[in-house]
Amino acid sequence: MSRVELLSPEGLRIDGRRPAELRKITSTTSVLSQADGSAYLEHGNTKVLAAVYGPREARHRALVIHDRAVLNVELNLAPFSTGERRRRNKNDKRLLEIAQFVKQTFEPVVITTLYPRSQIDIYFQVIQHDGGTLQACINAATLALIDAGIAMTDYVCACTAGWVEREAAIDLNYTEESADTSEMTIAMLPKSSKITLMQMESRLHVDKLDEVIALAGEGCKQIHEVLDKTVRDRAEDLARKMAV
Amino acid sequence: MNITFHAPAARTRATTGSHKQSKQYAVDQDMEVDGEQDGDAEGTAFKDPTLHVVTPGEVITADTAFMRGHGTYILDEKVHASVAGVVDRVNKLLSVRPLHTRYTGEIGDVVVGRITEVAQKRWKVDVSARQDAILMLSSVNLPGGVQRRKQESDELQMRNFFMEGDLVVAEVQAFFGDGAYSLHTRSLKYGKLRNGSFISVSPALVQRCKSHFHSLPCGVDVILGLNGYIWVSAHVPQNLDEIDTELVYSNKNKEDITPNDRESIARVASCIRALAQEFIFINDTIISFAYEASLQYKLREMTKKEIMQAVAAEAVQSVNNMKG
């Protein structure tokens, strides 16, 4: 079987992007009326809906921590989200792992000590999967948490980067992801440039690591601008409506 | 009451040139601030001069003279925002008010809540706050209005007073150490809710005012809970001396609710939903105006988005006309 050519001789990727070019990001907040905060985010064809409930009374006694809030993250992949239609088990290890990553990413950023004995639930619905699910989930969660008015020290912006054939490339899509490329997701606090998550499952030559990290970090900064605009527009809109 | 924060660019200070005009917050005249504290605040650009919107991680001011309030944290001696919202300033205190968040109560607030659990000597009440509020057996009135110590027999019949799922109106009496609210219903104004329907709106839309119990001219009573829970019910004549105290915990609606009453209740509820959807402050005046504006539509049309918008817009217009 011949391998798919991921990088054209002109240096363009399979979907026509340049290596350091992000896919188009669209985002809206407050899309669900029942949730305390919600967001819908698209990275190209990857579409995620995030809903935040809380901080609210912990549903199970065992969950209660007396001096801070508990984060609970659940992820669901719609059966129609992938190329091959398939219903996934709720206990799919892959999904549980992503949920766990999101939880670990947000635990140091959300100021949970302000909400003792309560619980914050983050639910994701992946509507379309085209690579970069984890980054899309983290970015959507950031928007939804801010929309719910939950205190955080900073935004969390996530971005993937990898080594595609002979160059570092950003924001890999499904074709690139599945073609045995080494891919890394990092989540960053854009104001301080601190990294809260760094995840990689494949091999990458150590000489290329710095370049990939730098590229992903650059992507996080760009994503931050997009998210910040969404949040700011929404806040200004509400403030103006309330000023009437 | 509508508090707006005015950007300090307008208030120029009569001081020496060491203070830069670009500084975000001019400290009040009575405060002594020396020129060295002139920090250049980051992210100073905001479009509307009366609104100062910040997002998490943004530096509000680098001036150490300010104290941090809610929605902020201090890092490297600078005040940062931790939520997205509008900056409120009271003298030296800076806080950020998120526009869309859970209820944060104060003592004396009137709230509407739903009983979620009957526990030992207490009920747990969902008031859309960060934790369930607690209603102690010792802070309710007994049927018959007798004042006495609550006994074991009262503890055993707690479900006869309030059951899981019952709606109550109560007042915030105190806070517990962990921030949970303690409620009381020790007044004939408070107690179990009947004869009506329930609406939940964003808590930011209900503001503190003199009274939260209103009788509208259309023959409907409204209780505006400060936690964003609203109760719309058929009018019951309120004469606090003649209330039958035995009926305070009754589970029966009154019998003579006419179809007209029911329609009015549903219409007022739809009006409140319309106002909430447009994120407009909810008070008795605007509800009355919205009700009048809605009369030109059939009740079943009131769930349509464009009609809700039209009703809300007309109500706002009427309020503005009234103000002059």
Whether the pLDDT of residue A4 is over 90: the answer is no
Identify the pLDDT of residue B34: 35
Among residues A242, A30, A239, A227, the alpha carbon closest in space to that of B52 is found at A239
d(CA B290, CA B311): 6
pLDDT digits (tens, 9 = 90+) for B266-300: 999 999 999 999 999 999 999 999 999 999 999 99
| pLDDT given at position B11 | 37
Average pLDDT over residues B134-149: 85
Task: Dig out the tokens for A117 from the structure.
Answer: 């004995």
Assigned token pair, B198: 């329930």
pLDDT of residue A59: 86
The pLDDT value recorded for residue B40 is: 39
Residue B37 or A54, more confident: A54
Q: Which residues contact A230 (CB under 8 A, 6 or more apart)?
A: A27, A28, A29, A143
Of the pLDDT bands very low, low, confident and very high (cuts 50, 70, 90), residue B31 is: very low
Please say if the pLDDT value at position B7 is more than 70.
no
Tell me the pLDDT band of B15, cut-offs 50, 70 and 90. Answer: very low
- Check residue B150 and give its pLDDT: 81
Option in A57, A111, A228 nearest B55 (CB):
A228
Q: What is the pLDDT of residue A12?
A: 93
| Cβ pairs A/B, distance under 8 A | 115
Contacts of A60 in chain B (CB under 8 A): none
Q: Find the closest chain B residue to A227 by CA distance.
A: B55
Asked casually if ipTM beats, i.e. exceeds, 0.85, the reply is yes
CB B268, CB B293: distance < 8 Å: no
**A222 or B6, higher pLDDT:** A222
Spatial contact of A231 and B84, defined as CB atoms under 8 Å apart: yes
User: pLDDT-derived band of residue B241, with 50, 70 and 90 as boundaries?
Assistant: low
- List, in order of start, the domains of chain B with CATH numbers: 17-98 (2.40.50.100)
**A189 at the B interface (CB within 8 A)?**
yes
Interchain CB distance below 8 Å, A149 and B100: yes
| Cβ contact B57–A235 (<8 Å) | no
Which chain A residues are within 8 Å of B131, Cβ to Cβ? 55-57, 117-118
**Averaged pLDDT of chain A:** 93
Least Cα separation, residue A220 to chain B (angstroms): 15
Amino acid B32: pLDDT = 36
Average pLDDT along chain B: 84
pLDDT surpasses 70 at A75:
yes
Question: In one letter, which amino acid is A114?
Answer: L
**Residues A129-138: what's their mean pLDDT?**
95
Nearest to B248 by CA among B144, B100, B147, B175: B144
CA distance A221 to A204: 23
Identify the band that residue A39 occupies on the pLDDT scale cut at 50, 70 and 90. very high
pLDDT of residue B250: 87
> Tell me: the pLDDT tens digits for B76-135?
999 999 999 999 999 999 999 998 899 999 999 999 999 999 999 999 999 999 999 999
- CB-based contact B84 A151, cutoff 8 Å: no
pLDDT at B19: 37
> How far, in Å, CA of B238 to CA of B118, rounded?
29
The predicted model gives A126-138 an average pLDDT of 95
Q: Quick one: pLDDT at residue B188?
A: 85
Q: What is the rounded CA–CA span in Å between residue B53 and residue A233?
A: 9
CA angle A66, A67, A70 (to 5 degrees): 80
Question: Residue B126: which of B109, B155, B102, B149 has the closest Cα?
Answer: B102
Minimal-distance CA residue of chain A relative to B202: A36
Intra-chain end-to-end CA distance of chain B, in Å: 17
Q: Is B83 on the interface with A (CB under 8 A)?
A: yes
Nearest by CB: A242 against B75, B99, B102 = B99
Contact state of A242 with B281 under an 8 Å Cβ cutoff:
yes
Confidence (pLDDT) at B22: 37
Q: Is B116 on the interface with A (CB under 8 A)?
A: yes
A60 has pLDDT over 60: yes
Percent pLDDT > 70 in chain A is 99
Query: Is pTM beyond 0.95 here?
Result: no
Residue A110 has a CB neighbour count (10 Å cut-off) of 24
Give the nearest partner residue to A151 out of B2, B71, B116, using CB atoms. B71
Cite the beta strand spans of A141-240 per DSSP E: 157-164, 167-170, 182-189, 194-200
Q: Judge whether B80 is closer than 8 Å to chain A, CB to CB.
A: yes
Closest-CA distance of chain A to residue B21, Å: 24
